[in-house]
A and B are shown apart, each in its own frame.
Chain A
């Protein structure tokens, strides 16, 4: 049972790949293995199985990095800082992935790579925050000081995220589900009528989506576990020398 999680993850990833890519998209789905058609999206709707989990992990990784940062500030245990920085490194990776997948998708659906839609702005800001976090870390040489100040910066930078995630999409016109949009008939600004945000996803799509979310999360925790253990070994090795 030692490798249970790995086999489980393997199974889930296979399921997501098959379930996400194979079922045909038809206008009136009859069997369970057909996805409903969304006008204007067609096959491009499949991005939800891969793009949304990466974006979710970006945020989750940031929260974990901040949580361990706060724990470091409380008990000054350097291993907490290692957990924090490895979560942030993975978060940065997933942030880049979410930006790239979203941007390529936007090129084919919305017409250009970047639109400054509120969600795009917020992922860009998250990218900047991660970048600034690592820039700050590389500018501090003393281990203890580096751990302390980067933890504090992660807290302060976190305070701005509610503005980007919850407030701006509701104040500004955007393309992602859930933000304001211009009504094509009257020209008035109105709340989004997009089916995705109200979670009117078809039942079978929802199953694949949640399996994908779980699979990505397990993958993240596996990678995170490996990377902070590597950091710890390197640190202990250095101390012995």
Chain B
């Protein structure tokens, strides 16, 4: 338990010192959102388009930022030392925790930007949106951490990451879009009960499977 915290703390403090991921990610989000703004111009798109585009931006910012945790270890050549001082499970959970915090931070920024910039992005049922936001971030962090671990051993890391992660994340993203649409229409939470069950089961499956297979990835 303590080791999980230490690994999280190590990543967190080196991130605070360098601000590599955070700065790049914030810029990425601004660029992505402004591209959408330019392409829409002064036209008003239908409401459900905004729900879709919100999660598109979330997906791509996760893809550009979350692979750093493992890739940087490989680049700096510190992964061997890391595997000496901690067991694989705590390494995975520490990295997962860091990614979780990072994606919560980034996604809150995206949500605020969306509410500020698009008048049509009006959430009427905050309860179901926030619940989906929580579960969705958890699932995105779980899948992208394990894919990042796979990718860090490969040669072309940047381009491969979204390619590998997209099919794995798609069930989650589709459900999140459905829930966001219904939250924007102000439907009660019971309407999307099935989608929430899918989200919960996805999160549980992904985190369990990741913990099980991470051991094999990590040991060279």
Chain A residues within 8 Å of B, Cβ to Cβ: 73, 125, 128-129, 131-132, 135-136, 139-141, 145, 148-149, 152-153, 155-157, 159-160, 163-164, 167-168, 171
Contacts and interface: CB of A to CB of B under 8 A. Distances in A.
Interface string B177-192: 0000000000000000
A168 B198 CA distance: 9
Contact of B209 (A139, A159, A167, A171): A159
Interface stretch (B13-21, B25-33, B46-54, B155-163): B155-163
Interface string B144-181: 00110010011110001001101110110010000000
A163 B202 contact: yes
A167 B164 CA distance: 22
Contact of A160 (B160, B168, B194): B168
A139 B155 contact: yes
Contacts of A171: 194-195, 198
B217 interface: yes
Contact of A149 (B143, B150, B198): B150
A168 B174 contact: yes
Contacts of A136: 150, 154, 160, 164
B206 interface: yes
B198 A167 contact: yes
B216 interface: yes
Contact of A139 (B154, B206, B213, B216): B154
A168 B171 contact: yes
A135 B168 contact: no
Contacts of A157: 167-168
A129 B216 contact: no
Given A139-B156, A140-B153, A149-B150, A155 B209 contact: yes
A136 B150 CA distance: 9
Contact of A145 (B143, B153, B160, B170): B153
B205 interface: yes
B144 to A, nearest CB: 11
Nearest to B212: A155
Contacts, number: 72
A153 B150 contact: yes
A125 B166 CA distance: 9
Given A125-B170, A152-B216, A139 B147 contact: no
A156 B167 CA distance: 10
A129 B155 CA distance: 19
B41 to A, nearest CB: 27
B7 to A, nearest CB: 21
Across the A-B interface, the 8 shortest Cβ-Cβ residue pairs: A163-B171, A139-B154, A128-B167, A129-B167, A132-B164, A139-B155, A132-B163, A139-B156
Given A128-B166, A149-B150, A168-B174, A156 B160 contact: no
A163 B164 contact: no
Contacts of A129: 167
A152 B213 contact: yes
Contacts of A128: 166-167
B4 to A, nearest CB: 22
Given A152-B216, A156-B209, A171-B195, 13 more contacts: A128-B167, A132-B166, A132-B167, A139-B160, A149-B154, A149-B217, A152-B150, A152-B217, A155-B209, A156-B168, A156-B210, A159-B209, A171-B198
Contacts of B150: 136, 149, 152-153, 156
A160 B170 CA distance: 8
